[in-house]
Amino acid sequence: MPKLYEYFGLIFFFYSNEHEPIHIHGRYQGNESKAEIIFENGKFKEIIIKDISGKAPLDVQNLKKFKKIITLYRDDIVRKWIDFFVYNIEFPSETITKKL
């Protein structure tokens, strides 16, 4: 389970057996949601937030943080997805300490 970021207790990660579309999970105190990063014809189209079957979703406050970080770090998330799932390159986790 590669961890990408931590932002005030909110953990951003991939599961190691993921599938397309490119997506990232967010967990805070046992609650979890995911965000799909959708491209169409090679261009960014949208971010779609989804619930995880069998898990309570992120609360409203953490869902806002989750979407904000994904929006700001979208290109880095896509690069890390390709590094990990295509090239098998691991990367260090980053702790975001500035309030965004």
Entry pTM: 0.94
What does the pLDDT read at residue 95? 98
- Return the amino acid letter for 83: D
How do the domains of the chain map onto residue ranges?
3-96
Give tens-digit pLDDT for 31-69: 999 999 999 999 999 999 999 999 999 999 999 999 999
User: How far from 85 is each of 44, 65, 68, CA to CA, in Å?
Assistant: 19, 25, 24
